[in-house]
Chain A
Amino acid sequence: MPIRALCPLNKGAELVQDRGQDTLPPEGLTALLERAATGEGGAWSELVSIYGRRVFALARSRLHSQEAAEEVTQSVFVTVARKVTGGEYRESGRFEAWLFRVAMNRVRDEIRRRRRSMVESNGHDQDLTCPIDRPGVSDEDVQALRAAMATLSDADREIIELRHHGGLSFREIAELTGEPMGTLLARHHRALRKLRDLMEAPADENEMESSR
């Protein structure tokens, strides 16, 4: 069954496909944000439909908990709605970068809170119920990938998650992190190579890497 059939998006706006993500063209997003700033419920419904699952995926990858990821997603949208309706956000074509910066900060806060309360995950996640829909990628590959991602530095892991789970372009990630595009591409490539090496290495070596 196609994954879209399992988890359909509510398309109230003129969406376009960008790198496999549903998104809006710039002029459509500006008009939508103008409506959202007035507190129009329909506009917020569209924003949640477009970005809600992308924010969720970002939080879900790091927090390893569907419940915690949904709580973070709610918190992110409440924060964004307060700032947009309160006039604190001025649209300048960087809404996605700003939205995901809010999301990353909220995820970091949640991780710090968990560390204080000793609820740290070991990176293993058995809670993912949706099937992997990519030919040639097995469930074992995904489990190995998750274990390998847990060994990345926080900075490298954030780039991977923003790019592949949040669906952001490198330009948007550069705006979000403040890093030059060249540096960002190099770090992304280096992180991919490290993941590949870890996934190809025997399991016992990965465990040693994880425990470092």
Chain B
Amino acid sequence: MSDTSFQNDPGIELVEQALDALGRAHRAQPDAGFEARILDAVQREVLMPQPLSFAHARERSWWRDRVVLASAASMLIVASIALMLWSSKPSIGPVPGPIARGDTLTPAEEVDELIATVAWLQQDLPNLNSLNERAASIGGLDESLFDQAEEALLETEESI
């Protein structure tokens, strides 16, 4: 191994030779299974992936990541709001069914219906001509006329 000249230093070459011999002896000391043991340690510790234990899996759970957890919470809130908005939206068009279809009238039909309703109300109204005549004769209301008018209005209200 010597690549230096020790011509001016007698005895040093012998020291180098002894050092080299000692190094070779050290390298030769392990048994034949030495390399296999070293390689086994490398494979066990580094090259072969360790199976995930339950505790290890818990340590690596996604919910332990604050960023991921915040993202998931945001998505949940947005989804809830969207669901609420969708469910509260009014339906478009008539409610299907026989009753709803029967109540549907055209504008012309609605006018005819209104005229018929007013005529029906007029049929049931009491004849108030006598009250009008008496009021005109006395020029105002007395107590008896007032009571008659009140009674006629109450009867009219009940009939309606």
Residue of B20, B24, B43 contacting most chain A CB atoms (<10 Å):
B24
Provide the main secondary structure of the chain B interface: helix
B16 and A164 within 8 A (CB):
yes
Does A31 interact with chain B (Cβ within 8 Å)?
A: no
B20 and A20 within 8 A (CB):
yes
B39 and A48 within 8 A (CB):
yes
Chain B contact residues (Cβ within 8 angstroms of A): what range? 35 or more
How many residue pairs link A and B with beta carbons under 8 A? The number is 155
A199 to chain B, nearest CB (A): 7
Does B97 interact with chain A (Cβ within 8 Å)?
A: no
A145 and B27 in contact (CB under 8 A), knowing A41-B43, A44-B47, A45-B35? no
B42 and A3 within 8 A (CB):
no
A134 and B18 in contact (CB under 8 A), knowing A57-B23, A57-B26? yes
A45 and B22 in contact (CB under 8 A), knowing A60-B29, A85-B47, A189-B4? no
Interface flags, A66-97, vs B, CB<8A=1, else 0: 10001001100110011001000000000000
Cα distance A134–B25 when bound, in Å? 10
7 residue pairs from A and B, CB less than 8 Å apart: A41-B47, A77-B41, A85-B47, A166-B23, A167-B23, A188-B4, A192-B15
